Structure 1
Amino acid sequence: MWLRVEGFKDLVRRWWTGYTFSGSFSHILACKLKALKQDLKTWNREVLGNVFSNKEAALSQIGYWDAKESDLGLSPEEAEARRRAVEDFSKWASMEEISWRQKSQQLWLKEGDKNSRFFHKMANAQRRRNYLAAIKVNGRRLTREEVVKEEVVISFHRVLSEIDEWKPSIIGLPFSVLDREEARALENPFSE
């Protein structure tokens, strides 16, 4: 969806080349990706905003100009403003459709398929898979979101702050051991 915005690629290129980090290549890449993610979030919120509400605003603007046209007719400037509103609506509707397709995680769906039941099921399936409706703690079933979050944090805190008793240990596991002759052979210089 962002690729439809004019100048987007240049903006990302400018951000990417502007980041300076030091360290290993993998560290630099991870830091640049993290910084880019934050810049993209901010840019998306400030430039695009809510695509659905932008589309609705453009549609209401078209409705306004249509009502005015039916009552009094439109001046050339007003007709131009109505044409721009129609273009805006078309742009936002297209972006909303692309957004739904991306949310569905099904690249083979065509942009015109957004209203099918299957499309909406696929778009919301990931959210349902990642949703935790209830948990059972000490025999109690917890369903309220705040209580579930609190219990998950408490449980992880308890498990991660325990002493090494719960963690796997290598004590008592049999390992193959090299004898002195084999160990000495490892330090010999390479021969042809």
Structure 2
Amino acid sequence: MKILSWNCRGLGRREKKCKIRSMIIDRKIDIVLLQETKLSSCTEIDVKALWPKARMDYTYVDSDGNSGGLLCIWDPGTFQLSDCCCNRSFILLSGTILNSFECVLVNVYAPNVVDRRRKLWDTLVRLKSASSKPWCLGGDFNEIRCVGERIGCSRRHRGMLDFNSFIESCELSEVPLLGRKYTWCSAQEGVKWSKLDRFLVNPEWLEVFKLKLWGLPRILSDHCPLILMEEERDWGPRPFRFINAWLLHHQFSTFFEKVWKEARIDGWAGFILQSKLKLLREALRNWNKEVFGDVSAKLKNAKEELNNLDLLAKTRALVDSEKARRNVVNSEVWKLSRKAEWIWLQKARLDWALKGDKNTRYFHVMATSRQSKNGLYSVTVGDRVVEDPGEVKLEVCNHFKKHFSEDWKVRPSLDGVFRSVRNSHDI
């Protein structure tokens, strides 16, 4: 699934239609969200000039004079529409993606006036409260979220506060933008930069899809196109990571000490340390699978068993063995819940005291967002952009080999007597 969002600044020119069509073909786009089409009447001929596939569905909003206009095109095999509504600033599509995920897609083109934007946010909040499906909003919001999203902005203003309040009210999370920092540049001056275009989603989207948002080069418009897509590339085995929740297990310290002491390695100190860490890594992986186990699955099973015992207690008095078992399971639920919170807290890297505990969904969303921001998905080598996982790994390896290679045939050495300054009176 790939969704393209772009403020195209008019579809009257043939060059722009050809560019959108080639972009859909090259990037294999399934859903297109266009803003500011400037078309007073959009015909099927106009849509077919953009859409290269045989099957298509579409809906549009006419422009108001020479400004505005929205157009949504999608492959009915990817998105099945069940309902829609619209006005001058948005098109809302309710349906199902890939016949399995019920959701709402919203193509947004926010007004360029603060008061009118606030009315738009209020309208979307009301619609969101009446819908149980998870939302995905993409488009030109004509607003920034913080001062760092605009060059030359030094203070928070009312529109920024309204926008952030709208995002919080709808429980939305922003998909991190990769490839560029700003999405709009003043066409005439070329010195004003802002991040006006984005995608906002409910947590369910991040739980179901591994989303990445790419910003493409700015062409034929003062806005750059955005592509929301699933990460399909295979980057190989995941690196080893120490899980803080392991420390909560009563056997961990004993196991750790035993593995470290039993590892007998001969050689110089650096080699011994490297070999012991390698053995410890493999031992921890096996221990995690065989002893620590899947915390989420264990917690689910424990909760089900506790619930069954509670239901049984409603029908008859529990015997001593069942009462003892309920106490054990109840204690296990608390222990497993704490481990699960530690795991998601570590992944999200958030302040526990500020964000609260037991909010696993919040931690999950923030962890996914952080991983997307920190991920290395492409590198630029000279004038060439490398995106293939194998080539990216090779270029990174070559970079560090070159960076740490020995260029000096003879390294300098320090001679003379070095006196300790620990007891010096001159310091």
Shared fold (TM-score, shorter chain, > 0.5): yes
The structure whose Rg is larger is 1
Tell me the residue number matched to 1:123: 367
Deviations 1:33-52 (A, max 9, x none): 11111111110111121101
State the one-letter code of the partner of 2:262: G
Matches within 5 A, 1:43-122: 43-106=287-350, 108-110=351-353, 112-115=356-359, 119-122=363-366
Q: Deviations over 1:146-166 (max 9, x none)?
A: xx7xx44267779x9xxxxxx
Structure 1 match to 2:255: 11
Q: Larger relative CO (CA 8 A, sep 6+): 1 or 2?
A: 1
Give, in whole Å, the separation in 2 of the partners of 1:155 and 1:6.
41
Q: What is aligned with 1:42?
A: 286
Q: Does 1:153 align with 2:390?
A: yes
SS, match of residue 325 in structure 2: helix
In the alignment of these two chains, the number of paired residues is 152
What residue in structure 1 maps to residue 121 of structure 2?
none
Q: Secondary structure at the match of 1:113?
A: coil
Is the Cα–Cα contact under 8 Å of residues 55 and 92 in structure 1 kept in the other structure?
yes
The AA in structure 2 aligned to 1:23 is: G
User: Higher helix share goes to which structure?
Assistant: 1
Amino acid at match of 2:345: R
Distance 2:362 2:316 in 1: 45
Worse overlay, 18-27 or 125-134: 125-134
Residue 31 of structure 1 corresponds to 275
CA RMSD across the alignment: 3.5
Where does residue 237 of structure 2 map in the other structure? none
2 CA distance for matches of 1:7 and 1:44? Answer: 12
Cα distance change, pair 128–91 in 1 and its aligned pair in 2 (3 A): same
Q: Which has the higher strand share?
A: 2
Supply the distance in 2 between the matched residues of 1:21 and 1:2 (Cα, whole angstroms): 26
* Matches of 2:362 and 2:313, distance apart in 1: 40
User: 1:60 and 1:39 mapped to 2: Cα distance?
Assistant: 31
Give the TM-score, by structure 2 length: 0.31
Matched to 1:104, the amino acid is: A
2:282 partner SS? helix
Q: Give distance in 2, aligned partners of 1:156 and 1:11.
A: 34
Q: What stretches of structure 2 of length at least 5 have no aligned partner?
A: 1-244, 381-386, 403-415, 417-427
Identity among equivalent positions (%) equals: 27
- Structure 2 Cα separation of the partners of residues 43 and 121 of structure 1: 28
SS at match of 2:352: coil
TM-score, normalised on structure 1?
0.65
CA distance in 2, matches of 1:117, 1:154: 35
CA distance in 2, matches of 1:89, 1:54: 9
State the 1:105 CA deviation.
Answer: 2.6
2:369 alignment partner, SS class: helix
Cα displacement (A) at 1:79: 0.9
Any conservation in 1 of the 2:306–2:326 contact (CA below 8 Å)?
A: yes
Residue in 2 aligned with 1:22? 266
Task: Give the corresponding residue for 2:68.
Answer: none
Letter in 1 for 2:300: E
Pair 3,31 (structure 1): closer, same or farther in 2 beyond 3 Å: same
The question of whether the paired residues in 1 share the 8 Å contact of 2:344 and 2:367 is answered with: yes
> Displacement, 1:130?
4.7
Comparing 113-122 and 34-43, the one that deviates more: 113-122
Give the drift of 1:20: 1.3
Match of 1:182 in 2: none
Give, as a single letter, the amino acid of the residue that structure 1 aligns with 2:297.
Answer: S
